[in-house]
Amino acid sequence: MEDKITKENKFVSAVVYLHNDAKYVDGFLDMIDKIFSEGFTGYELIFVDDASTDDGVAKIRSYYNDKDKALGITSIIRLSHFQGQECAMNAGRDFAIGDFVYEFDDMLIDYDPSLIMDIYKKALTGYDIVSTGCENAVSFSSKTFYGIYNKLSRSGEELSTESFRILSRRAINQVKSLDRYIPYRKAIYMNCGLNTTTVKYSAADPAKRRAAIRSRHDRSSLAMDSFIYFTDAMEKLAGFICITFAIIAIVVGIDIIYETAAFTRPVEGWRSIMGFLAIGFFGMFLVLAIIMRHLSVLIDLNFRRSRYLVSGIEKVTKE
């Protein structure tokens, strides 16, 4: 008599980001159906379509009609226009009802599928958030960003590149209790006060993982906003500029005093003075620009009400 596989008596959700990823849909659904149907008593899949222009959504629908699979409840959240990965995943997480919620930032499978259950079991040992990170596919730009970010971050927790993660319902409730716009999930998760950890893996094809990260169109603006939201980078830069120009002003002042005392006549270096004034005004306006940017972000965080714009939610069923 064969031993029966004991399923976890939990209902889990998987929030999956979808933006022109049609080539990964079938393989991802095959994998996630097998893992979840064997591992849990119930589950749901939530695909967040961030204004895709390919046939990814059509492939999800056809999968249900062409395959005899034990798929769980599946929903497709359609965003009204391209809003970026962070907004899209926030929308999916808010819609999820599972005891545990997986977040897949993409559908590229460059890891052993057993890792999905491994991080769930890791969460059961006392962690509310368990992330996975590919350790052999980190680009130079990512290393640079996380290196500077971790050095300037206000918290002691360090961030790194991640592929997917699992959150407990307690972690989700903790994040929702903040009742504010979440511009960068990873930073919020690492600073929510709950136990977190990261499980590393090695990708069989690191180039594909790097390409998947580069394909996201909102990375540059997200990096800049993250420095403003969660680090002291802008304040330190403004302080450095102010100190630099203060030193220049002191040096020029001493030079003027010296020349006046030595030659007992007014200083005639109008060109150098005008050049200094020009540089000084440039620095002043640069500082003002940084301050204005910082204030605009604070206003956005405090008063923004529209977290994301959803054009429709579809329950996928067999026809």
Q: What is the pLDDT along the chain (319 residues), one digit of tens a residue?
A: 344 567 889 999 999 999 989 999 999 999 999 999 999 999 999 999 998 999 999 999 888 776 565 567 899 999 988 888 888 898 999 899 999 999 999 899 999 999 999 999 999 999 999 999 888 877 777 777 777 777 777 666 677 788 899 999 999 988 887 766 666 788 778 777 788 899 999 887 777 777 776 666 555 566 666 666 666 666 667 667 767 766 766 666 666 666 666 655 555 665 566 556 656 766 776 776 677 666 666 655 554 444 666 766 777 766 6
> What CA–CA distance (Å, rounded) separates 228 from 94?
25
> How far apart are the C-alpha atoms of 17 and 26, rounded to whole Å?
15
Tokens at 9, concatenated: 């008596």
- Decide: helix, strand or coil at residue 42: strand
Look at residues 190, 181, 198 and name the one whose alpha carbon lies nearest to residue 157. Answer: 190
Task: Give the per-residue pLDDT at 95.
Answer: 92
Q: Which two tokens stand for residue 156?
A: 């002691």
Q: Retrieve residue 5's tokens.
A: 């596989």
Q: What is the pLDDT of residue 137?
A: 75
Pairing of strands 100-104, 196-201: unpaired
**b or e along 19-40 (b: 16 or more beta carbons within 10 Å of the residue's beta carbon)?**
bebbebbbebbeebbebbbebb
Q: Which CATH number fits domain 8-218+309-316: 3.90.550.10, 3.40.50.300, 3.30.1360.30, 3.40.1710.10?
A: 3.90.550.10
Distance in angstroms (rounded) separating the CA atoms of residues 137 and 263: 65
Smallest Cα–Cα separation from 147: which of 86, 73, 206, 231?
A: 231
Residue of 102, 123, 132 lying closest to 35 (CA atoms):
102
**Are the C-beta atoms of 34 and 4 separated by less than 8 Å?**
no
151 DSSP β-pair partners: none
Q: How confident is the model at residue 264, as a pLDDT?
A: 52
pLDDT at residue number 3: 44
Residue where the block lists tokens 């998760």: 189
Looking at residue 194, its pLDDT comes to 85
Burial class (CB in 10 A: 0-12, 13-18, 19+), 81: exposed
Picking from 16, 10, 26, 7, the residue whose alpha carbon sits closest to that of residue 49 is 16
Q: How is residue 234 written in tokens?
A: 């802008």
Residue ranges of the domains in the chain? 8-218+309-316, 233-303
SS3 assignment, position 12:
strand
